[in-house]
Amino acid sequence: MKYKRILLKLSGEALMGKQQHGIDPERLSMYAGEISSVASQGVQVGIVIGGGNIFRGLQGAAKGMDRVQGDYMGMLATVINSMALQAELEKHGMKTCLLSGIAIDPIAEAMSRRRAIEALNGGNIVIIASGTGNPFFTTDSAAALRAVEIEADVIMKGTRVDGVYTADPEKNPDAEKFDTISFTEVYERGLNIMDLTAITLCRENRLPILVFNMNIKGNLQKIIAGEPVGTLVKG
């Protein structure tokens, strides 16, 4: 296996599927199936999910809501998504552990590096909810932070595109895909892979980011098997 311990980042929006809002049960089930198939092979899987399908602090602030209050609402949205994925993974027969950066007993245990690693070593898929637990951050930054904390081999950023392109492939048909790219080039080209806080944390800790299409069945499995899927961002 190419990777022993991964941190998978899923956006909240990805959970909407074809819906405009909320959680699409079909998409949720597909993701749980993909994740279960690699976890069943012995890959240790940590997961951070966004909350954009339910609420984003910036959205609220644009309509006059207090930003910090809105950010906490966004963090709670990640808890809802994490709970949905946890339930679905358990339906697939997986052992799970839900941790949270905000105290939210009895739904989740408190996030600590020690508990996360203990749960991973115990064969659980570990979902870490509530982002970083702080306003003004994103769940991309949370994914970078949690990946460094749990000493993941890689962050896998599951998206709806096949990797990193020279331009947005959904808008520009001439955009070309990179197989690998350096952190320096990501900065220089101003590529929008993750926010800069997340990119910097990964670079400083020599943590590679693999950007891939999570909506294609079997991709996660192929990556674990060492097949060249997506784009690898590294130092």
Residues that bind ligand UDP (CB under 6 A): 11-13, 50-52, 56-58, 70-71, 74-75, 77, 131-132, 134-135, 137-139, 142
The minimum distance between CB 42 and ligand UDP, in angstroms, equals 28
- Is 42 annotated as belonging to a binding site? no
Q: By Cβ distance, which residue is nearest to ligand UDP?
A: 50
Nearer to ligand UDP, 46 or 131 (CB): 131
Here the tokens at position 81 are: 């998504």
The minimum distance between CB 72 and ligand UDP, in angstroms, equals 7
Q: What are the residues whose beta carbons fall under 8 Å from the beta carbon of 157, sequence distance 6 or more? A: 9, 140, 143, 193, 194, 209, 210, 211, 212
Terminal Cα-to-Cα distance of the chain (whole angstroms):
22
The minimum distance between CB 135 and ligand UDP, in angstroms, equals 4
**Residue 71 is inside which H or E element, if any?**
helix 67-91
- Is 71 annotated as belonging to a binding site? yes
- Is 137 annotated as belonging to a binding site? yes
Q: Nearest-CA neighbor of 183 among 173, 193, 171, 172?
A: 193
Nearer to ligand UDP, 65 or 222 (CB): 65
User: How many CA atoms, within 13 angstroms, populate the side-chain half-sphere of residue 141?
Assistant: 14
- Is 168 annotated as belonging to a binding site? yes
Nearer to ligand UDP, 94 or 142 (CB): 142
Nearer to ligand UDP, 146 or 203 (CB): 146
**Residue 118 is inside which H or E element, if any?**
helix 113-121
- Is 60 annotated as belonging to a binding site? no
Which residue bears the tokens 């905000």?
A: 102
Q: How many residues are given for the chain? A: 235
Which DSSP state fits 93? T
The minimum distance between CB 80 and ligand UDP, in angstroms, equals 11
The minimum distance between CB 96 and ligand UDP, in angstroms, equals 20
Nearer to ligand UDP, 22 or 135 (CB): 135
CA dihedral 116, 16, 224, 210 (to 10 degrees): -90
Annotated binding site for ATP: 9-12, 52, 56, 159, 165, 168
- Specify binding-site residues: 9-12, 51-52, 56, 71, 132-139, 159, 165, 168
